[in-house]
Amino acid sequence: MFNLINGTKGNVKNDILSGVTVAFALVPEAVAFAFVAGVEPMVGLYAAFMMGLITSAIGGRPGMISGATGAMAVVMVALVAQHGVQYLFAAVLLAGLLQIMAGVFRLGKFIRLVPYPVMLGFVNGLAIVIFLAQLGQFKVTSPLGDLEWMSGSVLYIMLGLVVLTMAVIYLLPKLTKAIPASLVAIVGVTALVHGLDLEARTVIDFVRDMAPEAQKATVTLAGELPSFAIPSVPFTLATFYIILPTAVILCLVGLIESLLTLTLIDEMTDTRGQGNKECVGQGVANTVNGFFGGMGGCAMIGQSMININSGGRGRLSGITAALVLLAFILFAAPLIEMVPLAALVGVMFVVVIGTFEWASFRIVRGVNKEDAFVLFLVTGITVIADLAIAVIVGVIVSALVFAWKHATHIMAKTHTDSDDWKVYDLEGPLFFGSVTHFKDLFDPQNDPEDVVIDFKESRIWDSSGIDALDSLADKYKEQGKKLHIRHISPECRVLLKKAGDYVEINVNEDPRYRVVSDTLG
C-alpha cells in the first residue's frame, strides 16, 4: 500500500489539526448519504457528529473515523420510502442494540478469520467506490433540472483545483509536517477560489444539486443541537417485524465495514485495536442516533485514511472532527458552504491512491489462481453490489477453495508394532471434504484383529469427521475386530458415541485447539 502516513506517533497538536481536516471531508459525504437514504441533510450531519464523537470516545480503535456511510444508506432506502423516517430511527436503534450484543458476546474476534485475499478485495473495492463517488462532483444541474457532466471553463477550473490540491498534499510534507497537508490544501484552495473569484462549485452548490426541486432554494447546512425523542412508531410486534430485517442488515453491514477498517488501520499503524470494544462503541453510537434523530452509520474508510495520513492517532482526533463538524452546523455553516468541492475531491483522490493496494497486481502474478479469483471477486461485488455481501461471499468461496484443496490431503502410513497390531499413522485434516478419502485408507476385511489409528499428526475438525470415524468403527465391529484410537483430542472423545466396547480410546491428553481466542477481541 502507498505509504502516505506522516509519522507514527500521535500527539495533541496532530490529533486536533487532523480532526479539523476530517471535519471538512465529513460534510459532503454525510449530506450525500442522507439524500441516498431519502432523509434530510441534517439527519446525515447529526449522524456524522454522533457516530464520530461516541465511537472515538468509547470504541476500540483510536484514530478511526465513523459517520454516515453509503453502505448503510442504501439499506435504508426501502424502509424510509415505505414507512417514513421514524421507522428508520427505530431500526437504527435496534441495530445498535444488536451491535452491542455482538460486542458483549465477543463476536468481534471473528473478523480475524477474514482471509487476506478477501481483505485485499475489500480495500480495493472501497477505493474504487470512493473514486466513483467523487466523479459525481463533476456534475451540475442543467437548465432542465437534470444532472449533467461539467464542460468548458467550469470543468477546467475544477480539474486544475483538484490537481493543485493533490500537489499540495504530496509536496508539502517534503517541506514541513507541522500542519496536515490536507488541511493546508483545503484552506489554501478555498482562499484562492474566493480571492480570485473563480467559477468553482462549492459545498452548498453540491447540496442544492442533491436536494429535491422544492428544497433547492432554501436548503442550508445550518442547524441546531440534536434533541432527544423516542421514535414515533407503534410499539407493537408488527412494528418489530417491519424494522427487524433492516436492523439486522444494518448491524451486519456496520460491523463488517467497521471491523475490516479497524484491521486495515491496525496494519497501517502497526498497532492493535479491540474488535469487541468497537462493536460496543458502534452499537452505543447507533442507539444514540435512534434517540436523537440521526441516520446511524459505521466506520468510514476514506475519512479514516485522511485522519491517519494527517497524523491523527488518538481518540482526540475523532472527537475533534465530530465537535468541529457540530460547530460548523451551529455557528459556521456559511464558512463550510463556501469550501470548493475541488479541494475535497482532491483530498479524496489522494485517499483513493493511498487506499488501493497497488501491490495486489504484483501479488496476483505470484499467488495461486484461487486467491487471485477471490481478490477480484470481492473487489467486483463491493463495487457493483454491497460490501457485506462481497465479504461474506469472499469468505465462503475461500472456505470452499480451502476445503477442496485439502480434501485429498489426508493420508496414512502403516506399520506393525511389537504386538502385531496394524498401526495407521494418520496425517492431514479429517473433515467433511476428506471423509471419502479417509474411508478408502482402511481395509477392515483384511486387517488383523487389532488395528490402531494414531491421530498424533491429524485432527478431526467437524461432525462429518466424527461420523466417519464412528462408521469405520462399525465396519470393524462387523468383522469382529477391535479398533484402537490414540492421540484423539478431548473434544472428539466425548463425541464418539458408537464406538462402545469395540473401540479403545487412548486417553493421551492433547492440547485444546481453538479457532479463535477471545484475547483477539
Q: Does residue 92 sit in the same domain as residue 29?
A: yes
Cα–Cα distance for residue pair 216/220, rounded to 1 Å: 9
Cα 398 to its chain centre, rounded Å, is 17
| Beta carbons of 312 and 11 less than 8 angstroms apart | no
Per-residue pLDDT of the chain (521 residues; tens, 9 = 90+): 334 444 445 589 999 999 999 998 898 888 888 887 888 889 999 999 999 999 999 999 999 999 998 888 888 988 999 999 999 999 999 999 999 999 999 988 777 778 888 888 888 888 888 888 888 888 887 777 677 888 888 899 999 999 999 999 999 988 888 888 888 999 999 999 999 989 888 888 888 877 777 677 777 788 889 999 999 999 999 999 999 999 999 999 899 989 989 988 998 888 888 999 999 999 999 999 999 999 999 999 889 988 998 889 899 999 999 999 999 999 988 888 888 989 989 988 988 888 888 877 776 676 678 888 888 999 999 888 777 788 889 989 988 888 887 777 888 999 998 888 999 999 988 888 888 889 889 999 999 999 999 888 888 887 788 888 888 888 888 888 888 888 876 666 665 655 444 455 554 444 444 444 454 45
Dihedral class, residue 212 (left if φ above 0, else alpha if ψ from -120 to 50, else beta):
beta
How many residues make up the chain in this entry?
A: 521
124 neighbors 360 (Cβ within 8 angstroms): yes
Instruction: Kindly state whether residue 87 falls inside one of the protein's structural domains.
Output: yes
Q: The cell 452548490 sits on which residue? A: 205
Looking at the DSSP bridge assignments, the partners of residue 483 are: 451, 503
Same domain for 420 and 334: no
Confirm whether 20 is domain-assigned. Answer: yes
**Residue 228 lies inside a defined structural domain of this protein:** yes
- 439 and 342 in one domain? no
Q: Residue 261 is inside which H or E element, if any? A: helix 237-269
Residues 295 and 430 in one domain: no
The answer to pTM > 0.95 is no
Please check whether residue 517 lies inside any domain of the structure.
no
Q: Where are the alpha helices (DSSP H) in 270-386?
A: 275-292, 301-309, 315-330, 333-337, 341-355, 360-366, 369-384
Report if residue 363 sits inside a domain. Answer: yes
* CATH classification at residue 492: 3.30.750.24
* Residue 154 falls inside a structural domain: yes
Q: In the structure grid, which three cell numbers stand for residue 305, read together?
A: 485514511
389 in any annotated domain: no
337 and 436 both lie in a single domain: no
Looking at the 3D structure of the chain, how many domains does it have? 2
Q: How many CB atoms lie within 10 A of CB 238?
A: 8
Are residues 423 and 484 located together in one domain of the fold? yes
User: In angstroms, how far is CA 380 from the centroid of its own chain?
Assistant: 16
The answer to whether residues 415 and 375 belong to one domain is no
In a domain, residue 403? The reply is no
Do residues 432 and 465 make contact, with C-beta atoms less than 8 angstroms apart? Answer: yes
Side chain identity, residue 351: V
Task: Confirm if 318 and 18 have CB atoms less than 8 A apart.
Answer: no
Last residue of a domain, one of 338, 358, 379: 379
Domain hosting residue 231, numbered range: 12-212+222-379
Which residues lie below 8 Å from residue 424, measured CB to CB, with a gap of 6+?
412, 413, 414, 441, 442, 451, 452, 453, 454
Let me know whether 424 and 375 are in one domain: no
**Strand-pair category, 411-416 with 422-430:** antiparallel
Same-domain pairing of 162 and 75? yes
